[in-house]
Structure 1
Amino acid sequence: MKITVIGVGKIKENYLTQAILEYSKRLSRYTKLEIVEVSDEKTPDGASEAEELQIKHMEGERILKQVKEGSFVFALAIEGKMYDSVEFAEQLEKLRTNGKSHLTFIIGGSLGLSEAVIKRSDALISFSKMTFPHQLMRVILLEQIYRAYRITAGEPYHK
């Protein structure tokens, strides 16, 4: 199975870059991982709702250009379904056994995802009702994907 993570914006903090590299290395035992960064738009202070929609639209177009045909797409969104780690592992395994060979996870920018990205997604997934910085979300997502593979393989992992 191949996994692609599409994220808006560049990772600026070294500690996040190091964590992403570590989980990418760990995941290489289980899957082919691709991380795609698309550029973000600067949001002016006091941006109007129309300006924010335009920014999400532009970022969304960049995201959608990176989504491969036939890929099962998870968009990370607060309104998405929440799984515990075992349920998430079971969901990924179910997709694999049903012939889905490519999964794409999308992490939006600071304003969230455009309606077009939400509509293209096959599933919405949420990690919490809280809002997290999108750069940190990459680390959390990769850790949970790694945990899911460990669970599926019956290997021990810290609970």
Structure 2
Amino acid sequence: MKITILCVGKIKEKYFNMGIDEYSKRLSRYCKLEIIEVSDEKTPDNASMAEELQIKKKEGERLLKYIKDGAYVITLAIEGKEVTSVELSEKIEKLGISSESHIIFIIGGSLGLDEAVLKSGDYSLSFSKMTFPHQMMRMILLEQIYRAYRIIHNQPYHK
């Protein structure tokens, strides 16, 4: 299985990079992992709704260029479906069994995902009704994918 994390912006904090590197290394035994970053747009303080929509649109256009035909696309959005770790593992396992060989998880920028990106997805996933920094979300997502593979393979993992 190939898993792509398609995201807006670069990770600047060393501690996030260390966590992302650790989970990427752990995942390498279960799947082929690829992380693709597209550049983010600067959001001015007190941006209008129209400016925010334009920023999301530009970031969305960059993301859409990387969505491959035949890939199963999971967008991360507050409005998405909240699932448990076991349910996420079941989803990943079912996709693998149904011959989906590529899953793309999409993480938006600080303003979220453009409507066109959300519509391109096959499934919308929410980790919480709360908002998380998109850099932190990348590490949390990788940890949950790693946890999912541990569950799929009936391997122990701390709770």
TM range (shorter): over 0.9
The Cα shift of 1:69 comes to 1.1
Alignment of 1:50-89 (within 5 A): 50-89=50-89
Q: Establish whether residue 16 from structure 1 lines up as the match of residue 16 from structure 2.
A: yes
Residue matched to 1:111? 111
- What is the CA–CA distance in structure 1 between the aligned matches of 2:95 and 2:28, rounded to whole Å? 19
Residue matched to 2:2? 2
Q: Establish whether residue 92 from structure 1 lines up as the match of residue 79 from structure 2.
A: no
The Cα shift of 1:14 comes to 0.2
The Cα shift of 1:67 comes to 1.1
The Cα shift of 1:111 comes to 0.4
3-state SS in 2 of match to 1:66: coil
- What is the CA–CA distance in structure 1 between the aligned matches of 2:23 and 2:14, rounded to whole Å? 14
Q: Establish whether residue 39 from structure 1 lines up as the match of residue 17 from structure 2.
A: no
Cα displacement string for residues 89-108 of structure 1 (whole angstroms, at most 9, x for unaligned residues): 00110111111000000000
Runs of 5+ in structure 1 lacking a partner?
A: none
Aligned length: 159
Cα displacement string for residues 82-124 of structure 1 (whole angstroms, at most 9, x for unaligned residues): 1101111001101111110000000000000000000000000
Name the TM-score, length of structure 2 as normaliser. 0.99
Opposite residue 4 of structure 1, the aligned amino acid is T
Superposition CA RMSD, Å: 0.5
- What is the CA–CA distance in structure 2 between the aligned matches of 1:35 and 1:67, rounded to whole Å? 13
- What is the CA–CA distance in structure 1 between the aligned matches of 2:130 and 2:46, rounded to whole Å? 23
The Cα shift of 1:143 comes to 0.1
The Cα shift of 1:46 comes to 1.1
Runs of 5+ in structure 2 lacking a partner?
A: none
- What is the CA–CA distance in structure 2 between the aligned matches of 1:19 and 1:7, rounded to whole Å? 16
Name the TM-score, length of structure 1 as normaliser. 0.99
Ranges of 4+ aligned residues in structure 1 off by more than 2 Å: none
- What is the CA–CA distance in structure 2 between the aligned matches of 1:49 and 1:79, rounded to whole Å? 19
Opposite residue 51 of structure 2, the aligned amino acid is E
3-state SS in 2 of match to 1:79: strand
- What is the CA–CA distance in structure 2 between the aligned matches of 1:79 and 1:52, rounded to whole Å? 18
**Identity value in percent:** 69
